[in-house]
Amino acid sequence: MIRDFKAFILRGNVVDLAVGVVLGVAFGAVVTALVKDLVTPLIAAIFGKPDFSGLTFTVNHSKFLYGDFINAVIAFLLIALAVFFFIVQPINALVTRTRREPPAEPDTKKCAECMSVIPAAATRCAFCAQPQPS
């Protein structure tokens, strides 16, 4: 049982997934810090509010932090943009570049007798009238 568990954990896709999750969390933290420390103050400077996280409203003594929600939406959009432009687009370009079209069927062939170029579908040569193999 331990051997099976070890084989499961050390399987390539499990390790790759774990690395992806760890890097994703770290990338999310970097983008969240970018939004909180740079983008939010820049947008707030344009609209006159120093920080979105301070935006709240109260209903029946319940405090709603909609400024934090705005920060989270901006962070999500920046992460989505970064993933799209730095991961999805380059991978798509690489796949497109490496994808090879199957070679097209030739539309001509040479006559086996007189070596003239004839259509591939021809059953007889137009120049020497010899039957052509299919």
Domain residue spans of the chain: 2-98, 104-134
Contact indicator for 64, 56 with CB cutoff of 8 Å: yes
pLDDT in tens, 34-69: 877 887 778 777 877 666 777 888 999 999 988 888
The encoded tokens of residue 75 equal 């962070």
- State the amino acid at position 107 in one-letter form: D
The encoded tokens of residue 62 equal 């319940």
**Which pLDDT value is given to residue 51?**
65
pTM: 0.51
Contact indicator for 90, 81 with CB cutoff of 8 Å: no
CATH number of 2-98: 1.10.1200.120
**Which pLDDT value is given to residue 89?**
92
Output the DSSP codes for the chain: -HHHHHHHHTSHHHHHHHHHHHHHHHHHHHHHHHIIIIIHHHHHHHHT-S-GGG--EEETTEEE-HHHHHHHHHHHHHHHHHHIIIIIHHHHHHHHHH--PPPPPPSEEE-TTT--EEETT-SB-TTT--B---
Question: Which residues contact residue 4 at a Cβ distance below 8 angstroms, ignoring those fewer than 6 apart?
Answer: none
Please, which pLDDT band fits residue 9 given cuts at 50, 70 and 90? Answer: confident
pLDDT in tens, 72-112: 888 788 878 877 888 889 888 988 888 877 778 888 999 88
